[in-house]
Amino acid sequence: MAAAGFWQGRRVLVTGGTGFLGTWLVKALLGRGAAVTVFAWHRDPELVFFQERLNERTAFVPGDITDQALIERILNEKGIETVFHLAAQTIVGTANRGPLSTFETNVRGTWSLLEACRRLPGVGRIIVASTDKAYGEHRRLPYREDTPLQGAYPYDVSKSCADLIARSYFATYRLPVCVTRMGNLYGGGDLNGSRIVPGTIRSVLSGERPVIRSDGRYLRDYVYIEDAVLAYLRLAQFADRPGVAGEAFNFSAGKPVSVLALVRMILGLMGRRDLKPRVLGEASHEILRQHLDAGKARQRLGWKPTLSLAQGLRRTIAWYADDLARPGRP
């Protein structure tokens, strides 16, 4: 176990810190006493980050993740010791429609961040967010960390590239980089209605039938957001240890579920099994079956999920129900 108070006073940069995962991670770091700088492109006041006024409790710097000079300035002026690199274009459909902007953000943005860190040796820990999509499609499941990265579609390729680039900086320069490969994240605060969990919950709260873009057979891991945050914190704390430094780690519950089964579970938990999902069968350029083996994270980091899928979904449903009841919320 890492020493108590590890984060107290530690100077941390979170790129993409106004997003879904970033917001939860920033709150966790602040709660542990870290001095947090957030670097992000998105400044929509409707984001939970701004609704909860986290910009007033952090040093918030707006900017483009491909701006290496600005990143170097932030690292230097804030005396950053630890970096969580979350900034990315994360929507598969958006990547399919506009691959170049996705490559620019996810690939160039990653090397810009890493090169800035390489030029400023005070940074002692860098956690780069990859994804299970970086593996591409393989017949053998579940995916382990030694499964080749072979993304085929734009989003998957962008994350395969960023993942490989990150670990090349460790191999070549001994830059203190670790990589996370997460299953699908869910939890309160995800305002992207195109994702299956928030989209389904919001539909049910409105008394509408949930919509499934695919045929419902797509198989995925789902990781509750607070468990994901604990994974990031644990990996950063142990990042300088042999067997952890320079490594990639899968994080998952190890219990894959189909999209249709997930939607039915949500309907059951919300007592609305009468709302039969509308299955569109329109999804394309996505991997059909994908899930992860997180044994390495359990063995080397001592990490495992604290909540079952049902428990996590209950918390998530409660968050959206409360959010919908707030004055002025849509």
Q: Residue 322: CA atoms inside 13 Å, Cβ hemisphere, count?
A: 8
SS3 sequence, 256-312?
Answer: CEEHHHHHHHHHHHCCCCCCCCEECCCCCCCCCECCECCHHHHHHHCCCCCCCHHHH
Could you tell me if 54 and 76 are in contact, meaning their C-beta atoms sit under 8 angstroms apart? no
Who's near 80: CB < 8 A, 6+ residues apart?
Answer: 11, 12, 13, 37, 74, 120, 122, 123
Could you tell me if 244 and 300 are in contact, meaning their C-beta atoms sit under 8 angstroms apart? yes
Where helices occur in 147-194 by DSSP H, the ranges are: 154-173
Q: Is 155 a catalytic residue?
A: yes
Rounded distance, CA 131 to CA 63, Å?
23
Tokens of 296: 């390495």
Distance of CA 31 to the CA centre of its chain: 19
Kindly name the residue from 155, 186, 224, 232 that is annotated as catalytic: 155
Q: List the one residue out of 21, 86, 87 whose CA is nearest residue 223.
A: 21
Indicate the SS3 state at residue 224: strand
Rounded distance, CA 171 to CA 160, Å?
17
Active site (catalytic) residues: 155
